[in-house]
Structure 1
Amino acid sequence: MSAAISFRGIISIIGDIVEIDVRAARRMGLVPRNRELALLEQEGQVFSLAQVVRLSRDSVSLQVFAGTKGLSSRASVRFTGEMMRAIHSDNIYGRVFSGAGVPIDAGPKLDNDPRIPIAGPTVNPMARVLASKMIRTDIPMIDVFNCLVESQKIPIFSVAGEPYNALLARIGIQADADVVVFAGLGLIHDDFHTFRQAFEDAGVLSRTVMFANLASDPVVERTLVPDLALAVAERLAVEEGKRVLVLMSDMTAFADALKEIGISMEHIPSNRGYMGDLYSQLARRYEKACDYRGAGSVTILTVTTMPGNDVTHPVPDNTGYITEGQFYLHDGMLDPFGSLSRLKQHVIGKETREDHSQIMNTMIRYYAQGVEAEQKQAMAFELSAFDHRLLRFATAFRERFMHLDVRQPLEEALDACWALLAECFERDEVVIKQSLKDTWWPHAETGAQQKLAQSS
């Protein structure tokens, strides 16, 4: 396709969608393709970049990146013959790109660096390796109770106001990964600045690649950011053997952008105004997570906000069918009851200590009983001596493990679990395999344990 031929033919402008009559273009031998880029020109100057979002026999719909305010129906269109591509080279580390794949960090130009296509097909399952390696984050509620596994795709379910971006930044800083690719979707400027500053202050910016679409940026770019980030992640994993962790916040903003575009194109909406292909759109991105045979891996961790804390909302509801569990962020803490990692059994006891599985189940069991004891206390029921021990356990469990500012390597966290059990319960009270208690139960009584024994 020739990129030098421009023509007029705007039929309508609805929102940021421009419909073009392409019969004249076809007579000139131009055949636009889906997702192809085009330039809108007005008064001899480029008005905006646009992308083909719908094809029909005689017309094409373009999503205009810069919006259509000030665009005349007499403007001309020039198809470039190119799809959106992402920059890929050794020069991208520490750089920040917009949703159009353009550097926005005032760094050196990358015009001569190679570019790679985005939004390609997912990997053939026969070329995938079964997930079997753990990504350590030094966050006990993840490492101990719901391990993050290489090639896993998993969201953080949360609501507006929760510190999910702070948690995501901590994981990006502390995670045992070669490269972190961050994709910001509809971020306010303060959140974007917080991510960048956090990576820079922690000294990990040199292994980080950032793509950012701010709330004030074009909506269409919000739909491209995941594809740009995942294309770079795939190339780093396949060609360079890197263990890549992709962080995306927030996938609900991505889905809302798809809904906005669909409504502008007068598509018939499905559940709550979202388009009927929401599941496919989300799955196409999440299924990029992969452990490549003979190469690296791509692990995807996202944020999915739930409007009204409604897990049946179309975005978290569809996400739950695609991903392999979820982390549930509630009241500023990772909730052990709402969180689940369906791949943790591939690493617990295999890549971790022999006591990991037993101590994980025991801690959650006693915490659940402690929550029940708190409910009994709130309803003024009489509490037994064991109930009081459960209350102490539940309070200490939140302080030592559930708060987001807690940072412990896995082995230290497992030791801390044993220590907490020893503080709150007698050795014979704890139901756990005897051989493990013989090996890992603290031998010396702690001061807290002595006080507990005196009070009972």
Structure 2
Amino acid sequence: MTTATDRWPPVAYTDIAELRGPLAVVRGVARVGFDVVATVAPASGPVRHGVVLEVDRERAVVQVLEGTAGLDSATAVAFGAEPMRIPVGDAWLGRACNGRGDPVDGGPPILSDRWAAVAGAPMNPTHRQPPADPVLTGVSAIDALTTLVRGQKLPVFSTPGLPHLQLATQVAAQANVAGEPFCVVFAGMGLTHTDAAFVRDALEGRAAAGDLVLLVNTADDPVIERVLTPRLALTVAEDLAFRGGRHVLVVMTDMTSYAEALREVSAARGELPARRAYPGYLYSDLASLYERCGRLRGRPGSVTVLPVLTMPGGDITHPVPDLTGYITEGQVVLSPEVHARGVYPPVDPLSSLSRLMRHGAGPGRTRADHLPLAAQVMSALARARQARELADLVGPSALGDMDRCYLSFADACERDLLDQRPDEGRDLTTTLERAWRALLVLPRRELVALPADLVDARVSDRPGEEAP
């Protein structure tokens, strides 16, 4: 990995007291600070890189990014004078790198005359602008019902076995903002080699267009690299957005793998565990990542974050989804039941929510009928769920005509609106027209969430029905 401190300072220390997993404890150090870069030179083999996690008197705990396998007491450790920094700028666009930022596409190292700290810098709250305007993903279930807004952090909650990686790559390949500079930063963590190859193939077109940065950490890479990957991605994204004037979508998958790597490092440091053995600072650590998105006053760009995480056993109270829900502004929930019905993406609309949707949809942003249309679809889906639960209790034959009508609507909504091919990108007009088509299965008098003039523009009175 290229850093601004790849040089030897005057003193190198060789008194390594302990090697624990990815950590090396160095004794006898002086004038070493927290979070500075370390250069680790074993007696044989390539030079490795590290970061100081903790300093206690004359001891420094160094996390070695390439792992400590093969290190011994003859290893020399030298410390830099500043925190880890990486080159930033347009040179990242179109490149594929590993989780440490080293190119894996056969190209040259990434060089730039600008450098930025990997840890990032907090945004001044007085300079923040509220998220506004949409990022269109080309996925109807998201664009119509849980619109992603520029500057928003909107996680995808999934369970193992569901096509969350496929959805993440589809969004990364299709997402756009109308008529403005846009790019995607994709950070994959703990991926198998098969999944990593799938991601590279699926995003090849966007990479060739020069508006993608790809960082992939595989499952057999050092675990400490997994902790670094999302920070690299966000550092690159911040520069592309706030210096380059682009709207940047950062897709990070899988944040559960990231949290497990953080747990492993915490255990190696001997820290007291909290819920389910995760470190007690998991909430603040996740917040330090998610809160790096947003918009800055006086700057044209924005950083939008779409983290993807799996819920072990489908447990939404697991620490990772639970804490993520406190930090972020909604969620897109994937359902095993919807997946079993053959619907892709298997989004459960009634469990999903975009709290900032009103800032990114409606007149002047998407379409005047978008928000009332989404409200009517959600209301009808809720009524259809009640009808389905009633049918499970008393049998479909005991349902009334209106309950059957709502069940027909739910089927039409899944078939026409929610279900689409993994390689199919839909524009917003197509998505909203499909929503109208599904709603017209219902009698006009049931469309109570829609203004009468919108309904009048779509349907006329039907025989035997009262006007709304």
Length-normalised TM-score, structure 1: 0.91
SS of equivalent to 2:221: coil
1-side partners of 2:259 and 2:420: how far apart?
27
Which letter does structure 2 place at the counterpart of 1:9?
A: D
Aligned to 1:13: 19
C-alpha change, 1:78 and 1:347, in structure 2 (3 Å) is closer
| SS of residue paired to 1:66 | coil
Residues 213-259 of structure 1: per-residue CA shift (max 9 Å, x gap): 11111111111111111111111111111101111001111111111
- Between the aligned partners of 1:288 and 1:11, the Cα distance in structure 2 is 36
Residue 388 of structure 2: SS of its match in structure 1? helix
8 Å CA contact 2:95, 2:207 repeated in 1? no
AA at the equivalent of 1:143:
D
Q: What is the DSSP-based 3-state SS (H/G/I as helix, E as strand, rest coil) of the residue aligned with 1:13? A: strand
**Cα drift, residue 203 of structure 1:** 6.5
For the structure 1 residues 410 and 443, does the alpha-carbon distance in structure 2 shift closer, same or farther, using more than 3 Å as the test? farther
d(CA) in 2 for partners of 1:106 and 1:83?
28
Verify the 8 A CA contact 2:67 2:224 in the aligned structure 1: no
Contact residue 192 and residue 219 of structure 2 kept, 8 A: yes
The equivalent residue for 2:343 is none
Residue identity in the other structure for 2:348: D
The answer to whether structure 1 residue 387 and structure 2 residue 403 are counterparts is: yes
1:21-100 alignment, distance < 5 Å: 21-22=27-28, 25-26=29-30, 31-43=31-43, 46-100=46-100
Judge which range, 138-147 or 278-287, deviates more.
138-147
> Which SS does the other structure have where 1:425 is aligned?
coil
Query: What 5-or-longer segments of structure 2 have no aligned partner?
Result: 340-345
Alpha-carbon distance in structure 2 between the residues aligned to 1:42 and 1:434: 75
The corresponding residue for 1:341 is: 354
User: Is this contact kept in 2: 1:85–1:228, CA < 8 A?
Assistant: no
- Residue by residue over 1:314-338, the C-alpha shift from the partner in whole angstroms, topping out at 9 and shown as x without a partner, is 1111111100011101133111111
CA-atom RMSD in angstroms? 2.2
Residue 417 of structure 2 aligns with which residue?
A: 401
Q: Report the CA distance between 1:202 and its aligned residue.
A: 5.7
Aligned to 2:429: 411
- Note closer, same or farther for the CA distance 1:35–1:98 as it changes in structure 2 (3 Å cut): farther
Correspondence 1:123-272 to 2 at 5 A:
123-177=123-177, 178-201=182-205, 205-272=209-276
Of the candidates 363, 375, 385, which is equivalent to residue 389 of structure 2?
A: 375
Query: In the TM superposition, what is the alpha-carbon distance from 1:356 to its structure 2 partner?
Result: 1.8
Q: Which residue does the alignment assign to 1:299? A: 304
CA contact (8 A) 1:245 1:301 kept: yes
Cα distance in 2, alignment partners of residues 173 and 379 from structure 1: 43
Alpha-carbon distance in 1 for matches of 2:249, 2:326: 21
SS in 2 for 1:154: coil
Q: For 1:286 and 1:399, how far apart are their aligned partners in 2?
A: 34
CA separation in 2, counterparts of 1:349 and 1:7?
A: 61
Residues 18 and 259 of structure 1: CA distance in aligned 2, closer, same or farther (over 3 Å): same
- How far is 1:412 from its partner? 2.3
Give the whole-Å Cα distance in 1 for the aligned partners of 2:385 and 2:93: 46
C-alpha contact (below 8 Å) 1:87/1:101 kept by paired residues = no
Matched to 1:155, the amino acid is: P
In 2: Cα distance, 1:325 partner to 1:254 partner: 20
Distance across 1 between alignment mates of 2:442 and 2:246: 45
Name the CA distance, whole Å, in 1 between partners of 2:50 and 2:310: 29
- Of 327, 331, 346 in structure 1, the residue corresponding to residue 332 of structure 2 is 327
1:288 aligns with 2:292: yes
Contact 2:147 2:357 in 1 (8 A): yes
Matched, 1:357 2:345: no
| Structure 1 counterpart of 2:455, from 422, 427, 437 | 437
Q: Indicate the larger mover: 149-158 or 388-397.
A: 388-397
Distance 1:5 1:367, change over 3 A: same
Q: Do the aligned partners of 1:35 and 1:51 also contact (CA within 8 Å) in 2?
A: yes
Q: Contact conserved, 1:167 with 1:404, CA < 8 A, in 2? A: no
Query: Residues 131 and 343 of structure 1 are in contact (CA less than 8 Å); yes or no, is this contact kept in structure 2?
Result: yes
For residues 33 and 403 of structure 2, the distance between their equivalents in structure 1, rounded to whole angstroms, comes to 67
Letter in 2 for 1:427: R
SS in 1 for 2:349: coil
Maintained 8 Å contact 2:444/2:461: no
SS of 2:210's equivalent? helix
* Superposition deviation, residue 45 in structure 1: 5.1
Q: 1:444 Cα deviation (Å)?
A: 11
* Matched residue SS, 1:227: helix
Structure 1 stretch 98-107 or stretch 378-387: which is displaced more?
A: 378-387
Instruction: Give the letter for the 1:428 counterpart.
Output: R
Q: Quick check: 1:199–1:205 contact (8 Å CA) kept in 2?
A: no
Single out whichever of 112-121 and 354-363 deviates more from structure 2. 112-121
What is the CA–CA distance in structure 2 between the aligned matches of 1:174 and 1:186, rounded to whole Å? Answer: 23
Amino acid paired to 1:397: C
Distance 1:442 1:139, change over 3 A: farther
For 1:203 and 1:238, how far apart are their aligned partners in 2?
21
The answer to whether the aligner puts 1:425 opposite 2:429 as a matched pair is no
One-letter code of the match for 2:33? R
Contact 1:7 1:77 in 2 (8 A): yes
Q: Is the CA contact 1:334–1:404 (under 8 Å) kept in the aligned structure 2?
A: no
Cα deviation, residue 404, structure 1:
4.7
| Change in CA separation of 1:112 and 1:264 when aligned onto 2, cut-off 3 Å | same
Note the C-alpha offset of 1:443: 5.7
Query: TM-score normalised to the size of structure 2?
Result: 0.88
Tell me, yes or no, if the aligned pair for 1:52 and 1:60 is still in contact at 8 Å.
yes
More off after superposition, 353-362 vs 75-84: 75-84
